[in-house]
A and B are shown apart, each in its own frame.
Chain A
Amino acid sequence: MKKGFAAVAFMLLAAGCLAGCQKKQVKPGDVEGFDPGEQYLSLWVHSIEDTEEGQAYRQSVDRFNEVYNGTYFADIEFVPRNDSGGGYSDKVNASVMAGGLPDVLTVDGPNVAAYAANGIIQPLAELTNEERGVYLESILEQGTYQGQLYALGVMESSVGMYYNKDILEEAGIEVPEAGHPWTWREFTDILERLKPLMEAKGGYPLDMTFPVGEASIYYYAPFVWSGGGDLVSEDGLSVDGYFNSSQMAEAMEFFRGVVEKGYMSEAPIEHLFESGRAAFKIDGAWEVNTVYQNYPDIRLGVAPYVVGESWDGGRYTPTGSWAYAASSDSENLKGATELVKWMSGVESGVRIWELSKTFPSTYEAFEQIDVFQTDENYRFLYEQLKEYGHPRPKTPVYPQVSTSFQQALESVALSGQDTQQVLDKSVERINAKLERYTRK
């Protein structure tokens, strides 16, 4: 079989040569700005250069080359990525096999564990406490796998439970402070109170869906965490007793209740919240900008994310985004780490906000951006991220966990299937994928 693989590898290599995806040896002068005496660092990002996000990366790299002139030269390559994750990840996968990974590459937050467990990325060089302290807790947590820091992102994200101030005032409902969120039961009571009012407006109390893809686990896993449960074990290698735990079942059944009692529409209706026909909406932080820009009539507020009855004040709200990591192929870990730190640092963070309105990942960047001081909604989302941000499950089989979560939610909440049966089935399916890691 070894021989067979050598043959296969040779064929791929031949194809690779033809396609030109071999790791190139770059000499000073080959690329503009790369001078003798500088160490060459290659960098891949999952974006197109023409986008605002791409421009932010380009400018950050240019600044890096200015600041580290004479020591390092970073060469950025833009690799387009489509919505379902193809493109960029295909290129990474191909390079894992044929060689040619860059020194630094971007990794989606929840995939850090899989990349680390499979030796595609290596732990970053040691960061001082001061250097670590720059970053939000959630970003460090996201980049850490089995006790080692692998990745640092320039972007963070958050999800808000938005409300329409006019509607809540009309119904006489007071929104609690950040530290005292509504529990599921309290929230259900409020939805019940709002239902007749919203029906009169031709809408629903809650604008919510269980979308396919990453959004479902991102939005709704907090309901499990705040209820004292977890999706995977601490080491990420076990799901039995976690994914099918009673806390998980409770969260799923909470959603079933919301659907059954008609607090939300079973089929997604577009712009329900934005057209003033829903009192609440759960959505990403981008919603604030959308409402401000396109729906100025809506008086927007952000309520604390709802928690389970047994919430102990711990971290539970959604976070996470793409991050930079050093590939295992990199022979210059020190340089790669410098590049990662720079690309995710304060200056780059302020830039990513200015250009693409994505949340930065460092305290100082948030402090430097006016809107997080002056606008109550942005301020709220930042505080929530700082105090309560919780990364998504860290497990090498994350993709399976994510799809299983969405499917379980759909089966339980929308199709009314038996909760425990659905969850046990999911555990079986995830376990099959985990085998690869547990048998080693």
Chain B
Amino acid sequence: MKKRSSSLLGMAFFGPALVLLTIFLFVPMVLTLIFSFTDYFALNPDLTHFVGLENYGKIFRDDLFVKSFFNTVCFVLIILPCQGIGALALALLINRVTHCKKYFKVAFFIPVVMSLAVVSTLWMQIYSPEGILNTMLGNLGIPAQPFIHSAKQALPSIAVMSVWQGVGYQMIIFLGGLQAINPGLYEAAEMDHASEWQKFKDITLPELKPLCVFVFITVTIGAFRMIVQPMVMTGGGPSHSTYTMVYNIYETGTVNWEIGLASTMAIVFAIFVMVLTVIQSILTRDKEEGKHVNKKAKGN
């Protein structure tokens, strides 16, 4: 009897979430999967046919999809190390400063709170031919750079901006991790005359490892989902140099009404990110820790 009422209570808590998740997450996911095998066209759903794997073949033969794929990978490859290492470096620095700690924390965190569209518009001014960055370069005797208006520089320019925008969030996470490290460890190391580098390498990094994995994966997924910055700043140009996968999915589905094709891209994208995340978590899994947990579990 007791068991039954507690399971009812459980359902009462779980139910609303389940209903909402079903409507807004599971159903759309299943629909996307179904649509990916059809030529569903938003303006004329009646004419939808089942086309099997045709869409999948189509998108891999499409230069633009391939290009958007590589652009996205490029973004991730720039953003991941910059943002990960940058966040750690900032956290270490802030952890050291004795004055104005709050000020620095807030200053680095503000871009995270700002809307991406606002940040993008702001950086368009910074990158503009007569903007602050080019003026500063001019004072150093460097000729004006086109930044987001050139096919070569647009992608790195947007990536740099994204790092600036996102780094504060990971910094706060690392900062929390740093403050949770037992000071006794450092004291012991100091007694053994460990150098700063040794302390960092042998205490700080291993202690932060679980956080590193978390940051690594969230930054990767976040970078893969890049759309707002190129949409606002370059429209995917010049010459598609900043056209990302999500942007491609959006344009195919919303602007060109090709829901079927867009669903296929979304599925491929989701699978790719999932596979990557799994690989990442396997590569970064702490073997020692795994054993440790197993032993503990057995003991229980």
Q: Footprint of B on A, CB under 8 Å?
A: 1, 4-5, 8, 11-12, 15, 18, 84-86, 89-90, 93, 96-97, 114-115, 118-120, 211-213, 265-270, 397, 399-400, 403, 406-407, 410-411, 414-415, 417, 425, 429, 433, 436
Contacts and interface: CB of A to CB of B under 8 A. Distances in A.
Nearest to B64: A429
B43 A15 contact: no
Given A93-B42, A213-B235, A266-B146, A407 B129 contact: no
Contacts of A415: 151, 238-239
B208 to A, nearest CB: 40
Given A212-B234, A399-B256, A268 B149 contact: yes
A410 B150 CA distance: 10
A15 B27 contact: yes
Interface residues of B, number: 38
A406 B48 CA distance: 30
B50 interface: yes
B128 to A, nearest CB: 7
Given A96-B42, A407-B240, A18 B23 contact: yes
B238 A414 contact: yes
B50 A1 contact: yes
A400 B240 CA distance: 14
A158 B42 CA distance: 31
A96 B48 CA distance: 13
B44 interface: yes
Contacts of A399: 255-257
Nearest to B147: A267
Contact of A115 (B23, B43, B45, B239): B43
A134 B27 CA distance: 50
A118 B31 contact: no
B231 interface: yes
Interface string B240-261: 1000000000010011111000
Contacts of A5: 48
A99 B51 CA distance: 25
A90 B240 CA distance: 25
Contacts of B49: 1
A114 B50 CA distance: 22
B45 A212 contact: no
A405 to B, nearest CB: 13
Interface in B90-142: 128-130
Interface of B: 23, 27, 31, 34, 39, 41-45, 47-50, 63-64, 128-130, 146-147, 149-151, 231, 234-240, 251, 254-258
B45 A96 contact: yes
A206 to B, nearest CB: 15
Nearest to B253: A93
B31 A11 contact: yes
Contacts of B128: 267-270
Contacts of A18: 23
Contact of A436 (B41, B50, B146): B41
Nearest to A15: B23
Contacts of B231: 84
A8 B46 CA distance: 12
B31 A8 contact: yes
A410 B43 contact: no
A97 B45 contact: yes
Contacts of B48: 5
A267 B31 contact: no
A307 B251 CA distance: 33
Contact of B254 (A90, A213, A406, A436): A90
Given A118-B44, A212-B237, A410-B238, A93 B257 contact: yes
A27 to B, nearest CB: 30
Given A15-B27, A212-B236, A265-B129, A403 B45 contact: no
Given A93-B43, A93-B257, A410 B23 contact: no
A119 B44 contact: yes
Contact of A114 (B43, B151, B251): B43
Given A11-B31, A15-B23, A266-B146, A403 B238 contact: no
A90 B257 CA distance: 10
A155 B49 CA distance: 38
A400 B256 contact: yes
A203 B49 CA distance: 56
Contacts of B44: 96, 118-119
A399 B238 CA distance: 18
Residue among A15, A85, A213, A425 with the highest chain B CB neighbour number at 10 A: A15
Contacts of B41: 118, 436
A285 to B, nearest CB: 23
A265 to B, nearest CB: 6
A415 B150 CA distance: 8
A397 B130 CA distance: 38
26 contacts: A1-B49, A4-B34, A4-B50, A5-B48, A84-B231, A85-B255, A86-B254, A93-B257, A96-B45, A118-B44, A211-B235, A212-B237, A213-B235, A267-B146, A267-B150, A268-B149, A269-B128, A269-B130, A270-B130, A400-B256, A407-B239, A407-B240, A410-B238, A414-B238, A414-B239, A425-B63
A403 B41 CA distance: 19
B239 A410 contact: yes
Nearest to B233: A212
Q: When A and B form their complex, which 8 residue pairs have the shortest distance between CB atoms, in order from nearest?
A: A212-B235, A267-B149, A118-B43, A118-B44, A93-B42, A1-B50, A267-B129, A97-B45
Contacts of B149: 266-268
